């Protein structure tokens, strides 16, 4: 990115988004030239485990909540005054899992439903400020997501094989489109899937 954009246009800050002190320090210590924030993209998030709820590890649930929910609301709250001052925009990465539950999606889906509802709540609270808020809700995207979730690159390769899934670049282009729309336009929620994916059917347990 530094080669592409130039070193004067990139300020990388590497820290664990769950670390409250590091998070607060990163915001407080921004150099003057970087302190005016126009756009916040909350992209940090993960799923851990695929077990049904009775078998799931509580530590995995806690990590997902800490990352997908607590860290997201904390960094958003820290930057809101700057975003209001500059009539900026917030793009939160949710998921189709916020709307369509699936076996093993339990807490991950719940965190993404929170992100969607939090985005709508922000829209309501920021009424009249000019700040735009969008919840982007992708379906199948081939990234490191599944390898992290399962701990297996083979499982990831199997899931995406032959599916022609969306790519990280597809989502980045979507975020760019939303962020660069005229200031009087707001995309509230945007759900997108690859053509190969559609809504799951209902489950029926038979005796």
Nearest in space to 135 (alpha carbons), one of 110, 169, 112: 112
Residue 111 exposed, middle or buried by CB count within 10 Å (0-12, 13-18, 19+): buried
The SS3 call for residue 108 is: helix
H/E element, 149 = helix 145-150
Name the DSSP class of 170: H
Sheet holding 132-138, edge to edge: 39-42, 89-93, 132-138, 189-192
The SS3 call for residue 124 is: helix
Q: Phi first, then psi: what are they for 94, rounded to 5°? A: -100, -140
Rounded (10°) angle between helices 20-28 and 71-85: 10
Separation CA 104–CA 109 (nearest Å): 9
Catalytic annotation on 108? yes
CB within 8 Å of 127: residues ≥ 6 apart: none
Residue positions annotated with a catalytic role: 108
């Amino acid at each position: 990115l530094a080669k592409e954009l130039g070193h004067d246009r990139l300020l990388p800050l590497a820290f664990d988004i769950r670390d409250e002190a590091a998070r607060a320090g990163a915001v407080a210590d921004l150099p003057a030239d970087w302190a005016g924030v126009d756009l916040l993209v909350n992209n940090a998030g993960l799923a851990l485990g695929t077990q049904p709820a009775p078998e799931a590890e509580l530590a995995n649930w806690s990590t997902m909540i800490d990352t997908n929910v607590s860290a997201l609301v904390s960094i958003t709250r820290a930057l809101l005054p700057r975003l209001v001052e500059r009539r900026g925009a917030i793009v939160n990465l949710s998921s189709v899992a916020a709307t369509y539950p699936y076996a093993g999606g339990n807490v991950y889906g719940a965190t993404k439903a929170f992100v969607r509802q939090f985005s709508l709540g922000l829209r309501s609270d920021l009424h009249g400020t000019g700040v735009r808020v969008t919840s982007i809700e992708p379906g199948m995207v081939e990234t490191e997501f599944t390898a992290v979730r399962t701990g297996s690159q083979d499982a990831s390769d199997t899931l995406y094989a032959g599916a022609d899934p969306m790519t990280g670049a597809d989502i980045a282009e979507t975020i760019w489109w939303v962020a660069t729309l005229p200031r009087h336009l707001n995309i509230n929620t945007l759900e997108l899937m690859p053509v190969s994916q559609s809504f799951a059917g209902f489950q029926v347990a038979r005796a």
